[in-house]
Structures are given as structure tokens and as C-alpha cells.
Amino acid sequence: MKPKHVVVLMGGVSPEREISLRSGNAVAKALGDAGFTVSCIDVKDEKIEELDQKEKDVVFIALHGYFGEDGGVQQLLESKGIPYTGSGITASKLAMDKLATKNCFVEAGLKTPDYITATEFQELNEIQYEIMRLGLPVVLKPIRNGSSIGISIVKDISTLQLGLKKAFEFGYEVLIEKYIKGRELTVGILEDRALPVIEVKPAMEFFNYDAKYKDNRTEYLIVEKTAEEDGNESGNSLLKIGVLPSSLYAEAQELALHAHRVLGCKGFSRVDMLFDGKNEFYLLEVNTIPGFTEKSLLPKAAKAAGISFSALCGKIVDLAFQSALVSVNETIQN
């Protein structure tokens, strides 16, 4: 039994609405090309009453941020008994919450940059004291936001207040991470297996919102594996852009898969990490609904594995539908 009718949810009510519309439109076209009957809903509230009038076998969630990746829309769909793509309520909540994600990594023994938190109710001098104990530079991140919105690097304590103000625009609590200088890597997960590693080389200081969506100078490189002996010929080999010795390449993939499983993600995700050039990887986050344009990182990784964009979207729909069938059969048997 195969799904035929797919409803794509896009837009949404988060600051990432524009990106979500791009993802949703790209997914809708790809699914149409793959032979599905597709209808789209531009989500503008948290009720999505239009869903009740649509014929659907599966809902493809192309919503980013609030009421997309945080378990909200997943809870709505489950209450209606509608199969949907991607991770469930609990995993979505964990992955959307950067602090909860970090805590899961630490509990599982997975390396992640050292961190503290701060709230807008704390005195500035108290936050400064904690940061100086952690050590500059640090990265300030809103705890529940995506697309690198509200993120800044603080190298000098005099710029802290400005960075905090920027981050507090998106919530009362901020994650403060020790800055790790290194290569930015991302590993897509599809059907519980790791896709090829991609390296992001932003022209800016780090991969922020502008670097992702506005700066055409950002480079995305499919990482090549080299033999171990090649990696030992030069002391700079581990810093070479776009290349990793095969053992470290495999380690990055395994680490990404472990992170995906630790949070309980399902179907697909994209795991971001840093590599410091000293054989150390640092997990940053897991994206349960990464970008879904043909230029986005998960589709790039899938293409490197020989999976076209339309095939990727179709596979994600099939996974959601088959998972729903398994759940129904288990319910009947019990």
C-alpha cells in the first residue's frame, strides 16, 4: 500500500516563515514530479482548519521554528490521527530546545562545547562573571530558535550587552557556548543511516542567517575521504577544507547517527558539528526539519548519495506512511 495524496504545510508563524515557504514550494514541486497528488497549506495560525477539507494520506511538514519543529504541529496532527513526516512530539521538542539537546548529549557522553545559560532577569555583572569563568570568546544563542537567528559571537566582554539584547529578542533564556574554532560540518540522516558529510565554508565569520540565505559566497563542499596514510603526510591535513581521513569521516557519520538516536528522531534529520583539527568533533545541534530547497544541505547530501530531490521527498513521505501503518497494526494486535 502506497500513499497518494500529500498535503504540504509551509509558511507558519515563526520568524522562519520566509524560509519555510521556500522549502514548502520546493517540496510540493518535487512530490508532484514523483507522482504524488499534492496540495499546499500556507499555515497562518495554530489551528490549520483547512486541513479538515483536504484529502490526505500523509502531511509533509515543511514548517521551520515555532509550531513546526517544536512538537506543536506534530501534536495537532496526532490529535487528528493524521500521519506526518519526520520526528514525533518528544524528539521535536528536545531538538528545538538547544539546552535540552545539550543536556541529552552530555548525558549520553557525546562531546559538545562547554556551556552555561543566562536569563534576562540576571544582573549583567553576574552573567559577565560566569562568562569569564567559561572563557572568551563565547557564542550566544537563543535557546528556542532556528536558522541561526539571534546568534552572535562575543570576543570582548564590552560587546556582551549588545549580544544579549539581540538573543533575548527571541526568549528570556540564552545559551552561552564556549567558542570552538574549527571546520563546520553537517551530516544528514535518512532512514537511520548517515549520508555523505558536507562542509560549510561561510565567507562570514560563522554560518549565520545571512551566510545561509543571503551571501552567495558561502561554499558547500561534499567532503572527500582520504586514506589514513595521506592524512599523516602533512601536519595541516586535518585542517584542509573539504577533506577528512576515512576514519574521521566515519567517526563524523557515526556521531551524527548517535545524536539522531539519542534525541529519538525519526525518518530524517540533519546534525551539525564542528571539527577542531585536533581529531575532536563537537556536536552543536540536531535539525528535525532542515531546509528543503534543492540548494539546502540535506538535499545536497542526498544527491551526493545518489538520491535525487524528488526521490528524497518521496522517500520521506513513504517512511511516514509506513510508520503509521505499523502503528495501526500494533494497536490492532494489542
Query: Which ranges of 135-245 does DSSP label H, i.e. alpha helix?
Result: 160-168, 209-213, 228-231
Q: Rounded CA gap, 145 and 152, in Å?
A: 13
Of 65, 110, 90, whose CA–CA distance to 284 is shortest? 110
Active site residue 269: no
**Catalytic residue (one of 179, 291, 296, 314):** 291
Residue 306 a catalytic site member: no
Among the options 147, 152, 208, 269, which is catalytic? 147
One-character DSSP codes across 47-93: S-GGGGGS--SEEEE---STTTTSSHHHHHHHHTT--BSS--HHHHH
Q: What's the CA gap between 174 and 155, in Å, rounded?
A: 17
Residues 16, 70, 97, 173: which is the catalytic one? 16
Q: Which of 84, 270, 282, 314 is catalytic?
A: 270
Annotation marks residue 285 as catalytic: yes
Active-site residue flag, 291: yes
* Residue in 85, 147, 184 with CA at minimum distance from that of residue 291: 147
Residue of 285, 296, 310, 314 marked active site: 285
d(CA 132, CA 148): 24
Catalytic status, residue 213: yes
Contact between residue 261 and residue 267 where contact means Cβ atoms under 8 Å apart: no
Q: Which of 57, 97, 272, 310 is flagged as catalytic?
A: 272
Residue 261 annotated among the catalytic residues of the structure = no
Residue of 130, 171, 184, 213 with catalytic role: 213
Of the listed 20, 23, 208, 287, which one is catalytic?
287
Q: Which residues are catalytic?
A: 16, 147, 213, 270, 272, 285, 287, 291
